[in-house]
Structure 1
């Protein structure tokens, strides 16, 4: 059996109080993980940080970055029209993010060579207000690299309005007066785009329009790498179901590229699309662990993340590696997975920080022989089922719930749901995430699959 050893070679933390050269570092912090598991796995997490595309020639930088930029715009960008005095028209393009994500906006400003970045409260905005720069720089980009979501319709109409203004007077003035007829035409366009849009005629999309760099930019805006119920999840949330259907076809055609030979031959990516918020939005989800490990992880691993979503992806990758090898089935692994989850997505913002990753804990965990033998040619589901049976589980675990160190009335419970109902929880996900970790839920409850004394014996057995 392989001896698994995990090495974390470098962790760079960031601070609000430090001035960082954003031209050289396109994010406030990144976590650089290196793992050594076998000779074929030496640099798996040695991504070299979030790429600045520095290894590409200038033509590739333009081509690949601009595809990324259009994908990011499809997720986060807005085309705006402002009118006043019944004759003046101003146009702008903008992206607004949380202030902790401002570095990617400075990167966009640097790459495009236009625009300004402003900060207000806990948000930051990249904006282009210059009419001349909109005409000379932005229009050629979006004409050459078309938007794919419904935003293509907003751009189409916004572009028509820009042309109306351009043809009405000299375009180099920041604010100009236009003829009443032109003004009325532009007002009609303004009132029919963005959140006011009801006409979707002329919307064109097929999966062949999607490139991997567009998809990366789109995922950095609307995608999520996260954990739910001790499972790794990749998802994209969007109002436009057709886009998710096209992305689903694209992902079903990406190559299988496992980092190890001799693994279970997993199925092609199966993307589930479900409605959210009364079908006002839709979510594409991939949760099959084998698919994530053999398709999704290798695909994104080789792409140059430009935002702090790259930090999420790296942490998620460590968690996926932990899950595929079964470490999430033992208490210490569950606790570390919970810590990883508490350092991702919205929880990585300064205002939401909960846990600091303990690299010694992670290193110690990967010194343990993995609970699952991924070279057994069995699926992750089969290995998990085999492990559960070996641990004496049939239809799940008994749930022992403790409050301030004392078992609550009715404990143990026969299911997660019964336990959740006893303490007023509508969802069982918190129990699944916290069980056997020793972590205190809401500063009150702890959850175990065995009585505390027996659990402690089991924990000590696993450490031997």
Structure 2
């Protein structure tokens, strides 16, 4: 961010300050501590109302920030803001902000960044033309770790219980994974449809933002959960993710069709997002049930455990190193989902002409 404020002590009557900052909820202060350590202890963490902000404002320290984002560029439209920020920093480093021409260049840059110019700056610099801002037309996802980090900051793992007269108990449980961004980053969210092979982008009614949403239970179990099992969510949102996984476990087990299961899901919902009461000693979700982590690990183990598949008609058996490998093999023969294989594993029941057995190892 670039701050321009009146200061009678400056030759031109205006002070210019460049700063980099990240604000997170107070519960995620540990993440900001890690970011501070990552950059070698530069900057400082400042506490605000329900939040902490990591701020770097020293010109020498900002060099490290610029060097980092030059090597690891942003892929959202915020990249355009970064380029403008970097240009302003260069002008300040050259002390051009101490001249009227240089100051006006920085004002023009600020006019194109974030919220633009304040009313006071517009009145003080009425003839300023905005600096052209680069648009990212074809965003590319660099690696799965980027998705995990992006989700840790912007993602939402949700489930809710709504009344539905068509259901036996009068309730319907809806579960999903969601990422929301400003309309200018629409292409990035649409790209996730292909990246995950599931979900859909929805434009909000106000046409100012959009959501990438995955709500199909099979897609959540077969694609979203395995992904975030491998590429971890960090911060307090990890606890939301664990509670969310437990709710999905209950749904897979059909517990949501019982009053007891509905009550369990309500308790989990009460420990997510803004409803959570932070406990320093242990996870709030673990207070709801110690089985949460083990149930999440059950999903992980199911996906990687070796299995044997028997074809009922011929009696032929095939060995696979994991459920996912068996799923990919059967995909083009007789569509059987990962969740179906998991559900019927070791039951002895035939599914679309196949019986599934777990094995300790495969020679």
User: What interval of TM-score do these two structures reach, taking the shorter chain for normalisation?
Assistant: 0.5 to 0.7
| 1:231 equivalent in alignment to 2:174 | yes
Native 8 Å contact 1:339 1:355 kept in 2: no
- Which residue of structure 2 aligns with residue 401 of structure 1? none
CA drift at 1:379: 8.9
Matches of 2:94 and 2:337, distance apart in 1:
66
- Which residue of structure 1 aligns with residue 187 of structure 2? 242
| 1:122-151 Cα deviation digits (max 9, x unpaired) | 22111111111112x111111111111111
Matches of 2:84 and 2:292, distance apart in 1:
52
- Which residue of structure 2 aligns with residue 84 of structure 1? 6
Matches of 1:313 and 1:379, distance apart in 2:
20
- Which residue of structure 2 aligns with residue 18 of structure 1? none
| 1:168 equivalent in alignment to 2:98 | no
Instruction: Give the SS at the match of 2:157.
Output: strand
Native 8 Å contact 1:319 1:337 kept in 2: yes
Report the number of matched residues: 269
Computed over aligned residues only, the root mean square deviation of the Cα atoms, in angstroms, reads 3.3
CA drift at 1:292: 0.5
Native 8 Å contact 1:87 1:179 kept in 2: no
Decide whether aligned partners of structure 1 residues 361 and 112 sit closer, same or farther in structure 2, where only a CA change above 3 A counts: closer
CA drift at 1:308: 1.2
| 1:128 equivalent in alignment to 2:56 | yes
- Which residue of structure 2 aligns with residue 34 of structure 1? none
- Which residue of structure 2 aligns with residue 118 of structure 1? 46
Matches of 2:290 and 2:133, distance apart in 1:
57
Matches of 1:360 and 1:132, distance apart in 2:
48
| 1:329 equivalent in alignment to 2:257 | yes
| 1:226-281 Cα deviation digits (max 9, x unpaired) | 113423210001102122112222222xxxxxxxxxxxxxxxx1x22112251111
CA drift at 1:98: 2.0
| 1:48-105 Cα deviation digits (max 9, x unpaired) | xxxxxxxxxxxxxxxxxxxxxxxxxxxxxxx343343344211111112221222211
Matches of 2:292 and 2:148, distance apart in 1:
28
Matches of 2:275 and 2:132, distance apart in 1:
36
| 1:140 equivalent in alignment to 2:67 | yes
Decide whether aligned partners of structure 1 residues 163 and 361 sit closer, same or farther in structure 2, where only a CA change above 3 A counts: closer
Decide whether aligned partners of structure 1 residues 153 and 161 sit closer, same or farther in structure 2, where only a CA change above 3 A counts: same
| 1:303 equivalent in alignment to 2:248 | no
Larger relative contact order (Cα-Cα within 8 Å, sequence gap ≥ 6) = 1
Matches of 1:355 and 1:211, distance apart in 2:
29
CA drift at 1:315: 1.5
- Which residue of structure 2 aligns with residue 220 of structure 1? 152
Matches of 1:243 and 1:165, distance apart in 2:
33
Instruction: Choose between structure 1 and 2: higher strand proportion.
Output: 2
Question: How high is the TM-score relative to the length of structure 1?
Answer: 0.52
- Which residue of structure 2 aligns with residue 402 of structure 1? none
Moved over 6 A (4+): 197-200, 360-363, 378-381
- Which residue of structure 1 aligns with residue 115 of structure 2? 195
Matches of 1:222 and 1:139, distance apart in 2:
23
CA drift at 1:378: 7.1
Matches within 5 A, 1:265-280: 269=198, 271-280=199-208
Matches of 1:378 and 1:299, distance apart in 2:
16
CA drift at 1:362: 7.6
- Which residue of structure 2 aligns with residue 359 of structure 1? 289
Aligned mate of 1:182, from 78, 102, 119: 102
- Which residue of structure 2 aligns with residue 21 of structure 1? none
Aligned mate of 1:159, from 50, 65, 86: 86
Unpaired runs of at least 5, structure 2: 8-12, 118-129, 162-172, 296-322, 328-334, 341-363
CA drift at 1:195: 2.4
Native 8 Å contact 1:210 1:250 kept in 2: no
Instruction: Give the SS at the match of 1:196.
Output: coil
Instruction: Give the SS at the match of 1:208.
Output: coil
Native 8 Å contact 2:221 2:339 kept in 1: no
Matches of 1:219 and 1:199, distance apart in 2:
31
Matches of 1:250 and 1:200, distance apart in 2:
31
Decide whether aligned partners of structure 1 residues 360 and 89 sit closer, same or farther in structure 2, where only a CA change above 3 A counts: closer
Native 8 Å contact 1:81 1:90 kept in 2: yes
Question: How high is the TM-score relative to the length of structure 2?
Answer: 0.66
